[in-house]
Amino acid sequence: VLSYHLFAQGKGWGKLGKIKIASRFQTFKAKDFQVEIAQDLLKAQNVLVVSHVKGHPLSGFGGAIKNLGMGGVSRKTKELEHNLGRPVFVDKCQGCGICAEVCPFKAFKMVNGQAQFENEACFGCSLCVIKCPHQTLAPRKALFDDLLAQAAALVIKNLPQRTFYLNFLKNITKFCDCFHHPGEKIAPDLGILFSQNPLAIEQASLDLLNQKAGGNLFEKVNRKDPYLQLKFAAGYSKGVVKYQLESI
């Protein structure tokens, strides 16, 4: 808890009001694992989910889904999301080297034409599983994007009716704010989106960015399709991603 307080103070968030770090959680059953959700969120009468849209090496991008799927749960749940998305060999390596090429954390090395996996270097993004053309790799339990969506969908389901979402499409970088050096801006500032629908605001954020970029921006810079987490989240929450933009 102390480390979270120090991080928040370092970001200057204490200037906005009292910082409260959740220390109590309630357990819910997702499809593939147990999810511990912060009790403060469950007991709140109103919630404002503020998300800075940016790139992320594990999920392609981070917005409201990642904010809730990681930020609304316990450290134990976060670790499970990473660990259960790590790869295992389910067939003989064909030696193509794609896993070593795409891994953002260099967890694969090619030795004598065979891929060798270093578990300690892996953060469980599942990109190697997705990109392997021979289906030699599989996640321990499910793709990272799937696990992230499972957690986020449970958080969303248990938030109060008066929950609102703000997505800031400003200072958009390749990596997320938790990196010491998130990189240079990769897109122009596009403003702020507001909605009561977390899936629609994610869809709109990605669509607006991609329209400006002329393609799938975050997949281009991070190799991971950002719509994947949205697809899983929509399936688990039975939510609607359709939206209508109104400028104010």
Read off the pLDDT of residues 115-160 as tens digits, 9 standing for 90 and up.
Answer: 999 999 999 999 999 999 999 999 999 999 999 999 999 999 999 9
CA–CA gap between residue 179 and residue 56 (Å, rounded) = 10
Tell me, yes or no, whether 186 lies in a domain.
yes
My answer on whether 149 and 71 are in the same domain is yes
Q: Which domain holds residue 130?
A: 86-139
Number of domains into which the chain is organized: 2
Domain containing residue 121: CATH number? 3.30.70.20
Which one of 139, 162, 183 terminates a domain? 139
My answer on whether 95 and 56 are in the same domain is no
Tell me, yes or no, whether 230 lies in a domain.
yes
My answer on whether 185 and 233 are in the same domain is yes
My answer on whether 33 and 100 are in the same domain is no
Tell me, yes or no, whether 245 lies in a domain.
no
Crossing angle of the two packed helices 227-237 and 144-158, in degrees rounded to 10: 40
Tell me, yes or no, whether 59 lies in a domain.
yes
My answer on whether 116 and 22 are in the same domain is no
My answer on whether 163 and 218 are in the same domain is yes
Tell me, yes or no, whether 3 lies in a domain.
no
My answer on whether 115 and 219 are in the same domain is no
Q: What is the pTM of this model?
A: 0.93
My answer on whether 63 and 90 are in the same domain is no
My answer on whether 152 and 198 are in the same domain is yes
My answer on whether 96 and 204 are in the same domain is no
Per-residue confidence of the chain (248 residues) as pLDDT tens digits? 667 777 777 777 777 778 888 889 999 999 999 999 999 999 999 999 999 999 999 999 999 999 999 999 999 999 999 999 999 999 999 999 999 999 999 999 999 999 999 999 999 999 999 999 999 999 999 999 999 999 999 999 999 999 999 999 999 999 887 777 778 999 999 999 999 999 999 999 999 999 999 999 999 999 999 999 999 999 998 888 999 999 98
Q: What angle (nearest 5°) sits at the alpha carbon of residue 211, between those of residues 53 and 56?
A: 30
My answer on whether 119 and 230 are in the same domain is no
